[in-house]
Structure 1
């Protein structure tokens, strides 16, 4: 313990080092606080919109529920869905900053409703919010560089290096200094996370995985800094080399990889899918009604023996061609989904040799804010939409009476609970790389 007290006293003499540690602690605290506030805001938004939704549904019920014709309540009634943030979402907000987490759907065509809110360029949101993931991936390496780039060169420039190396097991000095700085940096990251986890009620299994990823990513940059610091270069050269590595590993290479993925795996935006579905739906007014119903009965044979269409407008034909519109773009929707998942799979692989990408993917996975989590929410919406249609179809095709009691018995959305998640193989590969570089950095001290 004496060595720690001695190294701590030496560390305190460096005003720059103390300021750097305090600044990192402040930034991490701010990021955790910002994440908690955003999650709280999303919860409040979900509750507020749910209240407004109930008022809207009550107004629809007063006007149409007892009208006898199911078409009007089926057409005008919105059904609320929501995706509440997980207890770890405050650490890495991910796609929750861009994708909708509340969506009201009707019994009409689903595809147009899923992507109706996608009216912005997602690339504008790449920088994301100021959360813990941002501090860890982009800012922590800068603090490592500030604390370790002159670890040995400053002793060489002051003329003390030869004396220190002549001492028995002189390398212990560097090991102690590295251990102290690594411990201080990790403490600045972990303490705010633990406090935030207590406030948010985060599962400790998730917290432990987040801490392990943070410790591994920090170890990578410490190892890389040691590999450079032990080359015998001047402090300015070390800092320049490490800053170049930071720019390449956190900015340039991830951007180039993203551009390569976009060009190699082209994926149309969801808005294109929405427009394709709407074009088919709007064109159905010009198609003979019998042809539309025949296409509908191909996928819904249970209704083919119901009464034929009468003259004039009928709600069952209207809802049928909306469903036909969805089925007409089902192939495009599947291709869109497969393209997104293929990009995600390659992003996971890129994380094997770009620790920043790998750590970010892991944090988003633990927080349930990644692409699979968003697609899972869409799957829940699709299943709920099917329940709504299935509920209304008997009244539409069998001309059954519809009243307020049956309106109140309509399906209610029940969101799935978020899984705690686990460390996937691609994350293990990234962690192995981090500790390998850390080990090589420690080994370089002995040479």
Structure 2
């Protein structure tokens, strides 16, 4: 314990080191505050839309006080769907910054409604949000490099290294103690705002423990890597240059190359393409014989085949039949689209076992419920609700039953997906393996410090 107290006294004399820790604390606090504000804004938006939805439903219900056509009710009634943020979403905004978390759904063709919200300005989405995940992945390694790059070379350049190495018990414990203290301060600067933000947002203890484990594993990786370079470099400039190159390669170059390779290897059609293909199928149905459309519809809905025949002119059941067929026409493309997205996510999770920054983002976004799996779960919940909505209206439409106020009140209600997310065990194991391996290599390098470096970096 006395050794750590002594190291703290030495570090306290370095205003630059203390300023670096204070700056990281400020950045982490800012990230947590901005993330909390964004999630609060989303929650207020959902609450406001819920109020507007209730008012709109009440206005629509008055139109059917004397009874009316169910097709008109299905066409003009919008139903709100929403994906509530998890209690840890303020830490990693993820896809909630680009994908819709609120959608209004009708009983019409589904795919066009699902992917209408994909139209956004890509330049605005490119930078992403300044959240805790950004601070941890991109900024925290820079602060560790600033604090540890001259761990040995600074003592060598000042002429104190020979004296330190001659002291009893110097070995690797001295450098590990110094690196451990500075890494612990970086960990505290990162986690203190997270704990306060978690308390303010009601985040579960399991989620906070996951974030702490992810942060500790990531810092262990960079601490070990910094020890390896710092104990072998001839001077502080060479050490800082090498470590900055490692940071650029591991956090920018390799993830970008991996993403580009994954995009080419696992091609995925855009959701907008599905929307256009589905709309073309729906619009083309206006020119097809109605009997052909109904015969095709009854193949998948034989229970409705014995209903009354189509009258002359327009009828709602023909309209909703070809809306249904529009979704069925793109069902293979939708399945391929989802399979491609899931394949990309699967390979991204595997990359997290090799690239720590990728693993951190995968773990945090999974725990926060802001990744692709959460977005697809929301779409699945919408699809289930849409199927219930169609199933509710079809008996009215195909049996020519009048639609009254009691029927309007009995419409299905959307059930949002759960905001509780499981612990990302796979990503945690990958980060733990990377962090432990690099830390062991760093400890080994710390035990082999020489007065004069064997190799110059």
TM-score relative to the length of structure 2: 0.96
Whole-Å Cα distance in 1 between the matches of residues 348 and 421 of structure 2? 21
Q: 1:340-355 to 2 correspondence within 5 Å?
A: 340-355=341-356
Equivalent residue, structure 2, for 1:73: 73
Structure 2 residues not aligned, in runs of 5+: 449-457
- The CA deviation string for residues 29-61 of structure 1, in whole angstroms up to 9 with x for no partner, is 111111111111110000011111222222222
What SS does structure 2 have at the residue aligned with 1:116?
helix
Alpha-carbon deviations, 1:91-139, whole Å to 9, x = none?
Answer: 1111011110000100000000000121136586243201110000000
Q: Secondary structure, in 3 states, of the residue corresponding to 1:21?
A: helix
Structure 1 position 385 matched with structure 2 position 355: no
Within 5 Å, which residues of 2 pair with 1:118-129? 118-120=118-120, 125-129=125-129
Please state how far the C-alpha of 1:427 moved relative to its aligned partner. Answer: 3.4
SS of the residue corresponding to residue 104 of structure 2 reads strand
Q: Distance in 2 between matches of 1:186 and 1:363?
A: 16
- CA distances 1:343-379 after superposition (whole Å, capped 9, x unpaired): 1111111111000000110000011111011000000
Residues 66 and 403 in structure 1, CA contact (< 8 A), matched pair in contact too: yes
TM-fit CA distance, 1:423: 3.0
The count of aligned residue pairs is 447
C-alpha distance in structure 2 between counterparts of 1:324 and 1:140, whole Å: 52
Equivalence map 1:260-275=2 (5 Å): 260-275=261-276
Shift in Å, 1:268: 1.3
Question: 2:430 aligns to what SS in structure 1?
Answer: helix
Equivalents in 1 of 2:129, 2:146: separation in Å? 24
User: Which residue number in structure 2 is paired with residue 231 of structure 1?
Assistant: 232
Q: In the alignment, is the contact (CA less than 8 A) between 1:65 and 1:73 conserved in 2?
A: no
Structure 1 contact 366–421 (Cα < 8 Å) conserved: yes
1:419 aligns with 2:426: no
- CA-CA distance at 1:430 after TM superposition: 2.8
Q: Which runs of structure 2 are paired with 1:241-280 in the superposition (5 Å)? A: 241-280=242-281
CA gap of 1:128–1:375, structure 2 versus 1, over 3 A, is: same
Q: Is the 8 A contact 1:203 1:420 kept in 2?
A: no
* Aligned partner of residue 127 in structure 2, secondary structure: coil
Mapping of residues 88-107 of structure 1, within 5 Å: 88-107=88-107
Task: Supply the distance in 2 between the matched residues of 1:435 and 1:174 (Cα, whole angstroms).
Answer: 17
Matched-pair contact (CA < 8 Å) for 2:224–2:439: yes
The separation in 2 between residues aligned to 1:323 and 1:224, in whole angstroms, is: 57
Match of 1:13 in 2: 13
Give the distance between the partners of 1:249 and 1:42, measured in 2 at CA.
33
Give deviations 1:125-176, integer Å, cap 9, x for gaps. 2432011100000000000000000000011001111111011111332222
Cα displacement string for residues 303-337 of structure 1 (whole angstroms, at most 9, x for unaligned residues): 01111111010000001100000000000011111
Give CA deviations for 1:178-220 in whole Å, capped at 9, x if unaligned: 1110110111111111111111111101110110010000110
